[in-house]
């Protein structure tokens, strides 16, 4: 319940130890047949971050304040092939959730996103053609959301919502 995708980051840097611990948490995620489809392109130097910021959607401009941006990539056929399902995406989801929870454990906030230009990011950071960027995750300390623009400030005030268990759980059959 402490994990949330907030948008108010401070630019306070996060320590190398913390970053390492987040990446380690990601590395130890389960994956289909232990294929570990994920790769992490970690942007933390000023120039790399600025280059990355150029490819964010307008709606994700809040991410520019975060001191770390991780592009999580995988080959589309890089997971295991069971049932014809794209398990690479599940592997990536699990590694990202591990990283998000580790960030919370360390007193930080992580926010996964899908709003950015994949081709632009791939070219800017030399990501091979056969890799897809599945998500870009921001990490850092949470700041004061009064400093956000009005639209994002309102979003931060909205209570987190989920479908009720009664809508999604099917006991002893659908």
* DSSP H or E segment with residue 103: helix 87-105
Q: In whole angstroms, give the CA distance from residue 82 to residue 123.
A: 31
CB of 17 to ligand FMN, least distance (A): 25
How many residues does this entry show for the chain? 174
CB of 135 to ligand FMN, least distance (A): 5
Q: At what angle do helices 16-27 and 87-105 cross, to 10 degrees?
A: 140
Q: In whole angstroms, give the CA distance from residue 143 to residue 151.
A: 16
Q: Which residues bind ligand FMN (CB under 6 A)?
A: 4-5, 60, 112-115, 135, 160
Q: Which residue has the tokens 């919370």?
A: 104
CB of 139 to ligand FMN, least distance (A): 14
Q: Which residue has the tokens 């592997």?
A: 91
Q: Give the residue with the Cβ less far from ligand FMN, 30 or 115.
A: 115
Q: Give the residue with the Cβ less far from ligand FMN, 36 or 135.
A: 135
CB of 172 to ligand FMN, least distance (A): 29
CB of 16 to ligand FMN, least distance (A): 26
Q: What is the CA radius of gyration of the chain?
A: 17
Q: Give the residue with the Cβ less far from ligand FMN, 9 or 31.
A: 9
Q: Give the residue with the Cβ less far from ligand FMN, 20 or 59.
A: 59
Q: If you ran DSSP here, which 8-state letter would residue 125 be given?
A: T
Q: Give the residue with the Cβ less far from ligand FMN, 17 or 55.
A: 55
- Is the dihedral angle over the CA atoms 28, 34, 38, 39 positive or is it negative? positive
């Amino acid at each position: 319940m402490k994990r949330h995708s907030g948008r108010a980051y401070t630019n306070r840097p996060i320590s190398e130890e913390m970053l390492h611990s987040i990446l380690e948490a990601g590395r130890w995620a389960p994956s289909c047949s232990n294929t570990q489809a994920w790769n992490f392109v970690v942007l933390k130097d000023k120039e790399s971050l600025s280059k990355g910021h150029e490819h964010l959607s307008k709606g994700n401009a809040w991410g520019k304040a975060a001191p770390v941006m991780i592009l999580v990539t995988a080959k589309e056929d890089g997971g295991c092939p069971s049932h014809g399902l794209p398990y690479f995406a599940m592997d990536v989801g699990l590694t990202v959730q591990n990283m998000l929870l580790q960030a919370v454990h360390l007193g930080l906030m992580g926010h996964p996103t899908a709003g950015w230009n994949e081709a632009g990011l791939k070219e800017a950071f030399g990501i091979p053609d056969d890799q897809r960027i599945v998500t870009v995750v921001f990490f850092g300390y949470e700041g004061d959301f009064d400093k956000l623009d009005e639209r994002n400030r309102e979003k931060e005030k909205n209570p987190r919502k989920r479908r009720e268990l009664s809508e999604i759980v099917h006991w002893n059959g659908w």
